[in-house]
C-alpha cells in the first residue's frame, strides 16, 4: 500500500474518531443527566451514562494512538517545515511548543480539580 493511501485512511479514521468523541462529549454534557434521576433517565440509545463514558475513554485512547502514528508518519514534513520557519533553532522551538502544550494540560487539570 502506498504511503499516501495509508496517510489518507489514518486521517479519515482520525476525523471520524474526533467527531465521535465530540458528539459523545456533548451527549454526556447536555443530554444524558448526571446524579440521582429516575431509573431510565440515564440511558440513551440503550446505553447507560457510564457506558457512554467508557466509549468516550476508549475513543480518546484510540485518538492518542492515531495521533502518535500520524506524527511519526509525517515527521519528515514536520521537521522540514520547522527548519524552514525557525531556522537553526528549530529543535528549541519544537521543545518550547511541546513544553507549552504540557503547561496548558497541567493548567486545565488544576482548574478542573479546583472547579
Phi and psi dihedrals of 60, rounded to 5?
A: -70, -40
Rounded mean pLDDT of 66-74? 92
The top-scoring range by mean pLDDT among 30-44, 51-65, 76-90 is 51-65
CA distance 4 to 60: 24
Phi and psi dihedrals of 48, rounded to 5?
A: -75, 160
Residue 63 buriedness (CB in 10 A; 0-12 / 13-18 / 19+): middle
Q: Does residue 34 surpass a pLDDT of 70? A: yes
Q: Does residue 96 surpass a pLDDT of 70? A: yes
What average pLDDT does the structure give for the chain? 88
Q: Model's pTM, two decimal places?
A: 0.74
CB 7 within 8 A of CB 53: no
CA distance 50 to 22: 16
Question: Can you say whether residue 35 is alpha, beta or left, with left for phi > 0 and alpha for psi between -120 and 50 degrees?
Answer: left
Amino acid at each position: 500500500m502506498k504511503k499516501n493511501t495509508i496517510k489518507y485512511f489514518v486521517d479519515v479514521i482520525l476525523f471520524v474518531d474526533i467527531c465521535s468523541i465530540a458528539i459523545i462529549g456533548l451527549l454526556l454534557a447536555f443530554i444524558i443527566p448526571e446524579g440521582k434521576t429516575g431509573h431510565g433517565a440515564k440511558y440513551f440509545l440503550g446505553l447507560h451514562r457510564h457506558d457512554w463514558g467508557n466509549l468516550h475513554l476508549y475513543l480518546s485512547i484510540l485518538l492518542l494512538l492515531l495521533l502518535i502514528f500520524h506524527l511519526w508518519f509525517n515527521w519528515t514534513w514536520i521537521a522540514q517545515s520547522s527548519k524552514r520557519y525557525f531556522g537553526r533553532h528549530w529543535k528549541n522551538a519544537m521543545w518550547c511548543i511541546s513544553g507549552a502544550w504540557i503547561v496548558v494540560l497541567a493548567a486545565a487539570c488544576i482548574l478542573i480539580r479546583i472547579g
